[in-house]
Amino acid sequence: MNEERARKLARHRVGEEHHMGIPMTDEEIKLRREYMSNMIRRVPTWQEVKDEQLDDMRIYKRGNDWYIEDQDLYEYNF
């Protein structure tokens, strides 16, 4: 299932040179970006995030809460 695959990819940053990053194909990057954009589209702080910024962010679930970790490694609950 694509959503499950996208959710797993969103837990990591794009590219292994980044903290918590893994190598991804172009298809995986596109799937991940779409998923992440959909997840944060109602959060004013991140509505205008560019693809390059998304690549250096990650989204994950801990317990019942969702978190986003930005490019500066700050975690935000949303």
pLDDT, tens only, 3-47: 999 999 999 999 999 999 999 999 999 999 999 999 998 888 888
- Asked whether residue 1 carries a pLDDT value surpassing 80, the answer given is no
For strand 65-69 and strand 58-62, is the pairing parallel, antiparallel, or unpaired? Answer: antiparallel
CA angle 69, 38, 44 (to 5 degrees): 65
- Cα–Cα distances in angstroms (integers) from residue 33 to residues 40, 48, 64, in the given order: 11, 13, 22
Cβ atoms of 40 and 49 within 8 Å: the answer is: yes
Whether this model's pTM surpasses 0.85: yes
- pLDDT of 50 reads 93
pLDDT tier for residue 78 given thresholds of 50, 70 and 90: confident
Those residues whose C-beta lies under 8 Å from the C-beta of residue 22, and which sit 6 or more positions away, are 12, 13, 14, 15, 16
Q: Domain limits of the chain? A: 2-77
